[in-house]
Amino acid sequence: MSFNTLGLTAQTLRAVEEAGYQTPTPIQAAAIPEILKGRDLIGIAQTGTGKTAAFVLPILEHLARAPHVHGGHRTPRALILAPTRELAAQIEETVAALSRHLPLRRAVIFGGVGEQPQKDALRRGVDILVATPGRLLDLMSTGHVQLNAITHAVFDEADRMLDMGFLPQIRRVVKALPHKRQTLLFSATLSKEIEELTAEFQRNPATVEIGRRSNPAETVTQFVYPVPKSRKVDLLSELLSHDHLESVLVFSRTKHGADKIARKLQQTGVVTATLHSNRSQNQRIAALKAFKDGKARVLVATDIAARGIDVEGISHVINFDFPLHPEDYVHRIGRTGRAQAIGDAISFVTPEDEPSVKAVEKLMRKTIVRKTLAGFDYTDRPMVHEPRAPRPHRPAPRSAHASHRSEKSTAAKAGSGGAKHARPRTAAAAPARPRRDSAPHARAGAPVSRPGSTAPRPGKVRRRP
């Protein structure tokens, strides 16, 4: 089959050829005709199989054939939602490449960068809007985005978009969409529970499923390396000493862990970039570019990258921390072996990770091969914690409450330091709890009671003898 048989116009076919597409992938061949018919659709296929083009191409065809009729200003007619900034940016790149010969405008909006350039693009008018939910809702609330002309809505990585974290935001977006529209959902994995939620957003959708659900690409070879937690960094360094690990994506469970791994690798001379949500958008763009250009051999990332990286030539994915959810494992290792390329997925597994490994094997209905590195010392060693940077000095607050705490602390230290003249504290001498109306903030200049002090207790009046 060729793209010529899918009902695309000459301008679109020209862009397809210039973008390097040769023959449609299975998901493209199955989904494009259904979307061109105007049907709602659920598309499920392994990562790296061309899902983005599967919905972008037919949407471009629909928009190019139908003139914009919503007043004199171009308001968005197609909305594509993505869960991460990186994925939104990559979708916009695909839209740009495939619409280069069509009279259509596009814009991408996401958080982490200034709003003004995005507002300016919307003000000039767009046909296709690619967005993340948070920034979209922000601009909707200020009146910069109107969704009343939307004819096509796409939820990419639908399982993540419709999970409990995103569902309230998605419902707010859907509520602002016209009732009459085409709604498309695409993902590599889609649980039955999430699929039931799609009934809220779609009408009698067609389902296109390529391969077995929740299965990674067959071109990815998977290995598990049992290793103590204290030896993970050493094992990673040892693996990276082999030249055949050319372009390596390392997944960490936490942002702090990603930074720590990157520091360790840099110390051994491995050029490393990091990608996680604590990095600024410019830092994230620079890290991804360095990895794509081959300037950084290793990219250490959190799961933000599992749904937002489309880099050709990733030879290895290494799960430094094994994912807690089986679906995340599928998306992680799907960053390699893309477009029929060959790749390896290596997972470091501690004894605590074994239940998660079994869950992944149950999902894929296959056992992952266990492997050890010849000559590597797997002896568990005590963890050595890196010293933390000292916190900046902050002057103590000068409120009455702070003074009260400070005086209590000073008195306690004096008592513990063996102050001979401090009166011993007894049950009889213990100060009574202050009444509400005698709190320091209630009466300015009120005496403060503390252990070992001769000051009157709050609420009491010393009588002269």
pLDDT at site 70: 54
Number of helices followed by number of strands (H, E) in the chain:
15, 14
Helix (H, G, I), strand (E, B) or coil at 349: strand
- Please identify every stretch of the chain with a pLDDT value under 50, giving residue numbers as ranges: 397-456, 458-462, 464-465
Where do runs of H (alpha helix) occur along 228-292?
A: 232-240, 255-267, 281-292
pLDDT at site 228: 95
**Contact by Cβ (8 Å): 32, 96:** no
pLDDT at site 391: 52
pLDDT at site 411: 42
Q: How far apart are CA 161 and CA 42, in angstroms?
A: 14
Nearest to 235 by CA among 150, 144, 318, 135: 318
Q: What are phi and psi of 149, to 5 degrees?
A: -110, 10
Please list, in sequence order, all residues whose beta carbon lies within 8 angstroms of the beta carbon of residue 194, skipping any fewer than 6 positions away: 158, 159, 162, 163
> How many Cβ atoms are within 10 Å of 9's Cβ, its own excluded?
14
Q: What are phi and psi of 237, to 5 degrees?
A: -60, -40
Please list, in sequence order, all residues whose beta carbon lies within 8 angstroms of the beta carbon of residue 216, skipping any fewer than 6 positions away: 46, 47, 222, 330, 333, 334, 337, 345, 364
Nearest to 144 by CA among 77, 75, 95: 75
Q: How far apart are CA 373 and CA 404, in angstroms?
A: 61
pLDDT at site 400: 42
All structural domains of the chain, each given as residue ranges with its CATH number in brackets, are: 3-209 (3.40.50.300), 220-370 (3.40.50.300)
The residue assigned the tokens 């919503």 is: 70
Residue 451 CA: distances (Å) to CA of 18, 428, 433: 82, 12, 12
Angle at 276 between CA 270 and CA 277, to 5 degrees: 155
pLDDT at site 236: 96
CA-derived radius of gyration, the chain? 30
Reading across the β-sheet that carries 41-44, which strands appear in turn?
106-109, 128-131, 78-81, 152-156, 182-187, 41-44, 206-209
pLDDT at site 200: 86
Q: What are phi and psi of 3, to 5 degrees?
A: -65, -20
**Contact by Cβ (8 Å): 44, 23:** no
